[in-house]
Amino acid sequence: MRIKGWFLLMVISLFGLGTLAYQFGPRLFFRQFGYLWLDRVESRLIPGQLEEIRQKTKDLKAKIVWSSSRTGSHELFIMTLPDAAIFQLTHNNYVDIFPRFSPDGEKIVFIRSQRPWVSGRDLDPWDLYLLSLKTGKERLLVKEGNMPQWIDNHRISFVRKNRLLIKDLDTGQETMVLDCNLPPVSGQITTPEFSPDQSGRLALTGRGKLSGVFVMDLKSKNVLKFGEGCQITWFPNGREVCWVENGGRGGNQILMSPASRPQKSTLIDLPGDYSHEYFPRLSRDGKWLIWGASAGGHELDVEDYEIFLWQLGQPAAEAIRLTYNKANDSWPDIFIEPTP
């Protein structure tokens, strides 16, 4: 009986270890050695792909920025629409991700790794840079910063050591807004974003005491939970939020809800192979959604994510695929050019 008991315990332990290895083994590997998985790939759009993008965006004048590993390391790329011309913005051996257009579309803030390889899951070893699209020059903006968001043309928010700060670009002053190591968060936050209506609310993803996606009133510290997902972002009207959550056709989908009360509905869940959605971002006019989608793989650093663009209100099948390569295309943003 004692031998049978030990044997049963060993089987259960091996099963548990196998389950953990299956769930977290690839993530741990890519986190440490993801650079071994990446290589230069062919990335030019062929005539048929160019024609489709140009036809579907013929009435849209916009710029798309995103991070891509197509050169073998993550660099920033920009596409202009409707001509679908692609230009490489950064050239180095580090990891450049999380680009965000300034409200006037003239600058991009992004993060660069402090070592040649850093996984996006490691939140600390990053610096913030500012890139001028007029001059092509970049400058170091913040040491030890991550997940920048523009508040207006003169201020950005960012995270350092799990604390949310605001930097005034004119004066250089930094102000701490929220220490997420303390209640009510008491855990790790990612992708925090101030409400665009200046109402003092914050959308954030929490991991710890608060786990999931939330909207917090910064004055009262009251929080509303919307789901178990991640990468929550605001609609530009400040009345709705959207985020990524498990489920749907490809394992992930993009959900939305009124910001005043949790009321989930599906915003986009692509038909076809590329239906594992990630990295959602809305245009400032609220008419377009841009995001990345894979054919099922989840790893945000190395998986073959492709960039998609969709006009809200249209059938999901009308989404426009903007990239066609085996690289990791991630963290897109869109700027709609003002009408003359």
Predicted confidence (pLDDT) per residue in 301-331, tens digit: 999 999 999 999 999 999 999 999 999 999 9
* Cα distance between the two ends of the chain: 84
CB atoms within 10 A of CB 181: 14
Task: Give the model confidence (pLDDT) of 141-155 as tens digits.
Answer: 999 999 999 999 999
pTM of the entire predicted model: 0.92
> Torsion angle, CA of 112/115/118/124, rounded to 10 degrees?
-70
Please state, in angstroms and rounded to a whole number, the distance separating the CA atoms of residues 47 and 51: 6
Nearest to 67 by CA among 46, 96, 47: 96
Q: 35 pLDDT band (50/70/90 cuts)?
A: confident
* Residues 293 and 308: beta-carbon distance below 8 Å: yes
Q: What's at 202, amino acid-wise?
A: L
Reply yes or no on whether the pLDDT at 31 is more than 90. Answer: no
For residue 106, give the amino acid letter.
E
Residues 113, 67: Cα–Cα separation, whole Å = 13
> At residue 21, does pLDDT exceed 70?
no
